[in-house]
Structure 1
């Protein structure tokens, strides 16, 4: 029965693929078919069917390699897991219906075929879901690392002057990243003055202020001066109401004023040139 199923899949691959694509376009998520070109969708659909067929026809190593490559590709293209699961179920129904509608299995062999078929399809579903999940987790992990690197960048704007613009909330994990980037950036860019811009930080509470004070202290320990800029009136009022002591940190209301002060601290200034 296993050889029969292999031969059937090989000889009817094109017909099965055509029927599968037709049903998936009718029943599947429209976002999958509309977000890529028709050529890309046809190629992916062909690869999807080939991966499932490979579970029956190829060695475990070849099958595993094809499955991992395909999983990474569909995760990058945004195929949802529900679409993948529906695709596998639909494919299984098409193959099963084709075999029994054509009465290709003798009645005395039906039970044996059902066992072989189940031993093929059931593991495939589990393996595809596992591979998809693993690829998704790897992708999310890489994206998280990239976002963390972008969430607290130290940008050199003038010689000896760097700015760290902060946007969004600051929790303990991000505060640790801010500290690491500040210290490594000060040394790397040889900064003498560092401006921490909190214009984009919606709330400054005791915890956030504590993290900022720690960062400023750390910057001073490596020989640079730290300035807190972008303090809006509501933030200033909150700081006063909470009794937060920022006496050791130079503060300004805007980044522009902070840059001017930083230039003065490095014995420079902005001069307006006459035409």
Structure 2
């Protein structure tokens, strides 16, 4: 095993050059990774492989001697996931080292066929194991990236808008599930505390259907807001949603509902002791403040 490490070490520069040359275009994506970065990763991985063979042997990849190689593959896989490589491209990065290694062993061990066969078989098994580590690390990194992006999309898809002093609006688009309800609730409660608002309008115009589960999530959000001292008004109740709520027997008696967001906003203004009055002959909208004034 030390002999294999010595062969690779003596020919490291030439091996790295042939390795990069034999890589496919999908691995050498100039639009995703620079040539200098690719060369640096290849150099570091070859060094880690030599260290691993010398200290841990070519089969004990879980040993301490291979810790540097494992950590390096984790870092490379995570960076590939962020850069937009595919799983096959990441695995090919390691597997493309096979041919240069086989050519090197054949040149160095040509006089001993048995040793040559053993060396090639050992190298095949080693690189296959390293490729598996790379693929597993890539998938784990991509799943973490997707999870983080989903969380960010949830937060972006549930904005809390300040319509007026003490009046908030929370437009909901799409279906409510447990995870999204938690985000909605947290965003709303944080906004209630930050703005000291007494009224919150939950607009469900963009919610395709309201079933028992969605209604329960809405009620949880309303209850949490009430505990913080804010009264909730549900707007955007369409005829189909109203019929569904009645057929399902969902109890919304304690919840104020309105068909339009403008109606809910007008009600919130009224309950907060404000009203919108017309100035001259200019048209007025309950939501627009361009042609309106507040009266406390």
Normalised to the residue count of structure 2, the TM-score between the two structures is 0.76
Q: Alpha-carbon deviations, 1:202-245, whole Å to 9, x = none? A: 11012212222232233223322110011122212222332333
Aligned to 1:230: 236
**Structure 1 residues 42 and 239 mapped into 2: Cα distance closer, same or farther (>3 Å)?**
same
- 1:47-62 equivalences in 2 (<5 Å): 47-57=40-50, 60=66, 62=68
- 1:8-157 equivalences in 2 (<5 Å): 8-20=11-23, 24-25=24-25, 28=26, 33=29, 37=31, 40-43=33-36, 45-57=38-50, 60=66, 62-97=68-103, 99-100=105-106, 103-108=107-112, 109-114=115-120, 116-118=122-124, 120-157=126-163
Give, in whole Å, the separation in 1 of the partners of 2:43 and 2:214: 53
Aligned mate of 2:214, from 183, 204, 208: 208
Q: RCO higher in 1 or 2 (8 Å CA, sep ≥ 6)?
A: 1
Q: CA RMSD in A?
A: 2.9
Give, in whole Å, the separation in 1 of the partners of 2:257 and 2:127: 65
Larger radius of gyration: 2
How many angstroms does 1:268 deviate by? 2.1
SS state at 2:11 partner: helix
Structure 2: any 5+ residue segments left out of the alignment?
53-65, 283-296
Give, in whole Å, the separation in 1 of the partners of 2:182 and 2:37: 42
Give, in whole Å, the separation in 1 of the partners of 2:205 and 2:260: 8
1:195 aligned onto 2:201: yes
Q: Alpha-carbon deviations, 1:222-271, whole Å to 9, x = none? A: 32211001112221222233233322111112222222222222222334
Aligned to 1:247: 253
1:162, 1:191 within 8 Å by CA — same for their partners in 2? Answer: yes
Give, in whole Å, the separation in 1 of the partners of 2:6 and 2:168: 69
2:102, 2:120 within 8 Å by CA — same for their partners in 1? Answer: no
Normalised to the residue count of structure 1, the TM-score between the two structures is 0.81
Between the two proteins, the alignment pairs up a number of residues equal to 263
Q: Alpha-carbon deviations, 1:25-76, whole Å to 9, x = none? A: 2xx49xx94xx627x3534543553353233245755544533332222111
